[in-house]
Structure 1
Amino acid sequence: MKVPMLDLSEQYQGLRSEILDVLDQVMSSSQFILGSQVKKLEQDVAEFSNAAHAVGCANGSDAIHIALQALGVGPGDEVITTAFTFFATGGAIVRAGAKPVYVDIDPVTFNIDPVKVEEAITEKTKAIIPVHLYGQMADMEKLAEVAKKHNLFIVEDAAQAIGAKQNGHHVGELGDAATYSFFPTKNLGAYGDAGMIITNNEDTAEKMRVIRVHGSKPKYYHHVLGYNSRLDEMQAAVLNVKFPHLPNWGELRREKAAEYTRLLKEKVGGHVQVPVEAEGNYHVFHQYTIRAENRDELQAYLKEQGVATMIYYPLPLHVQPVFENLGYKEGDLPIAEKAAKEALSLPMFPELKQEQQEYVVSKIAEFYTK
């Protein structure tokens, strides 16, 4: 049996006629830049997120950068974030002119540790970027307390967590802004790059809108240095077709996750640690990520058996070569470094079949038996 990490073909076939129809509408309208499709998506995502404003942009990486710039983060500032995340989180900080300060993670959820965040605060700290990794929110209540105490901004990197909640709070409600990625593999995925920022602050939202169009307002009059980062009308149209299905897809992911957990506990036992949904959290399982003994050997074996897996992420940001100038070394953030050696994400998508999950787990069990 072949089990892909992600299969978007079945989803497309179910939505094909709607998607082709809406794309034809866009092409017939000849309205390709910041048109009605972008406006509709911004309104719907803002309402879904319980946010006052949503600002579409070109991708999730730009979303973080724009949010930081709109909040006034720049040269001389420090931004505290997790070392266990995709490169875009750290890259956006540097592009904004600030210095990333990496801290360790919670060993259970893989998310940033609020205690470590507070320990890392200096007089130069301007903001915190928690990453809601794999679809589960970081401890936003504690982070919000830390931010309030030290007068810091919070930009939530929710690239993997649209629809996630914590004790009734939506992504973005406890921070100053939150960013989404609509990369094709995400829970709500476009057919190319796309991103969005949400905020409850009208002034911040307006700054974001200006920054995404070269910093111009009115057109051709530039008071800030922005850049070209507009959400494409065609991508917005695709996302508008998909958006109403997001809650159901989230529930299906949670069902698949529960089944993986049941099967792994029953058939594999202590060789792997299954994901834990923290109390009060609504986890949307962008990834189903286990900790595995002999992770690399297990991954190689599963590949031989036709099972695709991914390692998110094999090298924490603090020891990435590009950040060598920051002075971190191996051993500085031991929990993140350990996670990088053990984390393995299994196939996860709403259309994943029961027999596929059973096959995946049977091959994991087979590996450890051998």
Structure 2
Amino acid sequence: MTSHTAGGAAVPFFAPDLFEEDREVLLDLVRRTGTVAGQRFILGALTAELEGALRATVDGAEVVTCSSGTSGLTLILTAMGVGPGDEVVVPAYGCAPLGNTVANLGATPVFADIDPVTMVVDPAEVERAISPRTRAVMPAHMFSVMADMPRMREIARRHGVRLVEDSAVAQGGVLDGRPAGTWGEAGVFSFVQVKTFGTAGEGGAVVTHDAELACAVRALRSHGQEGPRFVHQRVGFNSRFDELQAAFQLHRLPGLPARLERRARIADYYTERFAPLAERGVVPPPPGRDGRCYYVYSVLAEERDALKEHLAAHGVASHVYYPLPLPHQPAFARFVPPGRAWPHARAAGRRQLALPINPHLTDAQVEHVADAVCAFAVERRAA
């Protein structure tokens, strides 16, 4: 980072001008999509083109676009036959779809605790949670760290269960040379605005090297239609992809590597600045770029709320994700065995704080964020 001062300017968490340079393009795409011959607004030629373009980014895996990353998980689990009587092992800490998608199919989410530093699910805890009723395990990449997918693959193979990769936040991440989304039998991406390949609305994709599974997902996303229209071989969903979103994502796809690199450079700078703060109560994610996805940059702070207030006083917006672990959410209370505890998930809920990492930040803003965090850690330890 170059040496600048932030001049006291506010540093937003979400970029307020995320699509500003694309405004005219977006308006033109609305007009062109609305006036094209055939008036096909969903699952048309642009959707097929986007799926083909995305295949090149995931080692040629099948890509099936859908209405959201959440619906992608539902489509995958349904295609795998998950239903009543089955269990799916999921992280105890993360976004509600980890539990919702399983419960909505009549299956039981079984929560596994997380690693205390990386906040991704602990493979040993996943293995301990597997029972004769387990149909699948569904690890999730979190914030800026991918789950330990090599160990997850081995655990799934050893126990004969399906492996679903919740890679919604990790598009563009690479672990051991393998893209996020391709480690499991199937993975998902989310295109919601704040994700690395966010769009001006909702959207997502299923990624899989299993052609049969991809075929099932394609049918399920459009009311179970296979072959001729209005012929329904199975009970499906309405999870179709919008042509306007496909056009916009095709426009933005060439710029994705540069945006990912900008996020990665910001993360590298933060981690270098924050590494000495661990003994002062502020713990950054592990350094390096392998197995990283720079959707959100989160630190673990012993005095999280005080740090958040300190940053706000210095014009820096921050964000608390998942203050309650999934097993502590009222929605999932019926799935919690008596006496069961998830101490690392609970600790993460008390300590996690996300810092601005959107690619529109200037060097000066990034340095201002880092300076503010470092000043807080020094001041609190001195006090």
Query: What does residue 225 of structure 1 align with?
Result: 235
Identity %: 35
Match for 1:62 among 53, 59, 71?
A: 71
Letter matched to residue 233 of structure 1: E
Query: What does residue 197 of structure 1 align with?
Result: 206
Letter matched to residue 299 of structure 1: K
Query: What does residue 26 of structure 1 align with?
Result: 33
Distance 1:269 1:349, change over 3 A: farther
Alpha-carbon offset, residue 277 of structure 1: 4.2
Query: What does residue 36 of structure 1 align with?
Result: 45
Alpha-carbon offset, residue 223 of structure 1: 2.8
Alpha-carbon offset, residue 340 of structure 1: 0.9
Match for 1:12 among 4, 19, 23?
A: 19
**Equivalence map 1:158-237=2 (5 Å):** 158-217=167-226, 218-237=228-247
TM-score under structure 1 normalisation?
Answer: 0.94
Q: State the secondary structure of the residue aligned to 2:19.
A: helix
Q: State the secondary structure of the residue aligned to 1:134.
A: coil
Contact 1:55 1:205 survives alignment (8 Å):
yes
Contact 2:171 2:181 survives alignment (8 Å):
no
Q: Deviations over 1:114-159 (max 9, x none)?
A: 1111111111001011101114321111110111111111111111
Contact 2:277 2:283 survives alignment (8 Å):
no
CA distance in 2 between partners of 1:364 and 1:135 (Å): 18
Alpha-carbon offset, residue 227 of structure 1: 1.4
Contact 2:173 2:180 survives alignment (8 Å):
yes
Query: What does residue 320 of structure 2 align with?
Result: 311
1:251 partnered with 2:261: yes
CA distance in 1 between partners of 2:122 and 2:322 (Å): 17
Alpha-carbon offset, residue 268 of structure 1: 8.6
CA distance in 2 between partners of 1:172 and 1:190 (Å): 19
Letter matched to residue 26 of structure 2: I
Query: What does residue 53 of structure 1 align with?
Result: 62
How many pairs does the alignment contain? 368
Letter matched to residue 159 of structure 1: A
**Equivalence map 1:260-275=2 (5 Å):** 260-265=270-275, 270-275=280-285
The farther-off stretch of 284-293 and 298-307 is 298-307
Contact 1:190 1:236 survives alignment (8 Å):
no
CA distance in 2 between partners of 1:61 and 1:143 (Å): 21
Distance 1:60 1:85, change over 3 A: same
The farther-off stretch of 89-98 and 212-221 is 212-221
Match for 1:3 among 7, 11, 16?
A: 11
Alpha-carbon offset, residue 334 of structure 1: 0.5
Alpha-carbon offset, residue 284 of structure 1: 2.5
CA distance in 2 between partners of 1:267 and 1:203 (Å): 49
Contact 1:267 1:361 survives alignment (8 Å):
no
Query: What does residue 116 of structure 1 align with?
Result: 125
Distance 1:163 1:330, change over 3 A: farther
Q: Deviations over 1:18-38 (max 9, x none)?
A: 333333321221321111121
**Equivalence map 1:353-368=2 (5 Å):** 353-368=362-377
Alpha-carbon offset, residue 84 of structure 1: 1.0
CA-atom RMSD in angstroms: 1.9
Alpha-carbon offset, residue 270 of structure 1: 2.5
Q: State the secondary structure of the residue aligned to 1:216.
A: coil
1:242 partnered with 2:249: no
Q: Deviations over 1:296-341 (max 9, x none)?
A: 1211232233211111221110111111111247871111111111
Q: State the secondary structure of the residue aligned to 2:100.
A: helix
Alpha-carbon offset, residue 174 of structure 1: 2.5
Q: State the secondary structure of the residue aligned to 1:48.
A: coil
Q: State the secondary structure of the residue aligned to 1:133.
A: coil
Distance 1:169 1:157, change over 3 A: same
Match for 2:290 among 281, 285, 295?
A: 281
Contact 1:331 1:337 survives alignment (8 Å):
no
Contact 1:157 1:179 survives alignment (8 Å):
yes
Q: State the secondary structure of the residue aligned to 1:222.
A: coil
Distance 1:123 1:329, change over 3 A: closer
Query: What does residue 91 of structure 1 align with?
Result: 100
Q: Which runs of 5+ in 1 are unaligned?
A: none
The farther-off stretch of 220-229 and 238-247 is 220-229
Distance 1:328 1:300, change over 3 A: farther
Q: Deviations over 1:205-262 (max 9, x none)?
A: 1111111111123322323221111111111111111111111111111100111123
Query: What does residue 166 of structure 2 align with?
Result: 157
Letter matched to residue 99 of structure 1: T
Contact 1:79 1:100 survives alignment (8 Å):
yes
Alpha-carbon offset, residue 182 of structure 1: 0.4
Distance 1:266 1:130, change over 3 A: closer
CA distance in 2 between partners of 1:21 and 1:12 (Å): 14
Q: State the secondary structure of the residue aligned to 2:236.
A: coil
Distance 1:329 1:134, change over 3 A: farther
